Structure 1
Amino acid sequence: MDQDLNQTSRTSSSPRKRRLRRSRSVPRGGDSVSNDQNIKINAAADINGDEVVGSAVPLFTKIDLEVADINGDGVVGAAEFMVYRLKQMNKIDQEDIIKITKEFERLDVDESGTLTDSDIDLAQTNSHIQSSVIPRFTKIDLEAADLEGEGVVGVAEFLVYRLKEMDKIDQEDIIGIMEEFEKLDLDESGTLTTSDIVLAHQNT
């Protein structure tokens, strides 16, 4: 499997060491949460009326921050930001998002909202899960998909990984969006917060 994905966050143009914060796991209740996540991602298309034309990049506002927060923990990680921007760039569509999110939920056996080694072990012993997840998602994939380096894979990271496998996005897309994310992440916490957005706007 392609392991370039998780290398991006470690080899970006910024030399600083990123201090990544673990996102809070959000218990899920079946398809209702999946639909909510899909709605939030879909709303990212043009929430503030900014159209992405050519290489133009719309401002990232507090409204964008709220919509991009897929797992509802109050902050936006690198993978969530990437999914949000890819949606704005028309690189991905809702059908892809729904399909990949359902695949993520089948693999998330303990329903913690993240994929871990334990989930992969349990999934590999369940023939129904294995037959419904194609291509297979292994521990090697888990490590490669861990964009934020936390040892677990959230739904946004899983989306980015699968989209890259599907050739919907390429490494150039990932690098460009990661560079934008790191410019906005002024406190170098590995997540975007309201404070980051306020400071970023003051510096423009």
Structure 2
Amino acid sequence: MQVILGTKIGMTQIIGEDGVVTPVTILQAGPCAVTQIKTVQTDGYNAVQVGYGQGKNLSKSVTGHVKKAGENINPKVLKEFRVDELPEGVKLGDALTVESFKLGDKVAVTGTSKGKGYAGTVKRWNFNESRNTHGFKGNIRRVGSIGSMYPQKVFKGKKMPGRMGHDQVTVKNLVVAYIDVENNLIGLKGAVPGPKKGIVSVEGKE
């Protein structure tokens, strides 16, 4: 089963035998534990819940939930992966590592993008600035008109200043370019959403 959770370490480069330099993002991925298996008969859909990391001060509900998978499993993060059909042989407490991936596999990575705080329309939506010529009032980054004479309201979805970033982002078709089984490292060609030390999920296309 090609799913795993990990921590973003940062970006580096890999030089191939042909001399081509490939930018890669290194993730500290796994080992993860299977904490729950959902089926159509019991939950209405098929899914596998995975736990990652070592959490502290877990609530009683979470502690009781993951206890079924093993005594020493105290995950910091829990994430559910829906599947059409449950993989054969997967059971509670199984460990998921980078060994399930191989070089050249295409994966989808989901993470939380960097938060930019409160931003104006020029930064947030790439609006043009107003003309900065003689006689102009001077505020060249203001929004401008946001409505009309009719129907005398601002439509929902209007591009306005507001919070920017810190959204869930999924990048598809990233290629596995590096695997280190001993140190639980995996390298993906290209950029991965989120800051360093951010939690990301990697899901392959088996």
TM over 0.5: no
Scaled by the length of structure 1, the TM-score of the pair is 0.21
Q: Which has the higher strand share?
A: 2
Q: Which is higher, the Rg of structure 1 or of structure 2? A: 2
Q: Normalization by structure 2: what TM-score?
A: 0.21
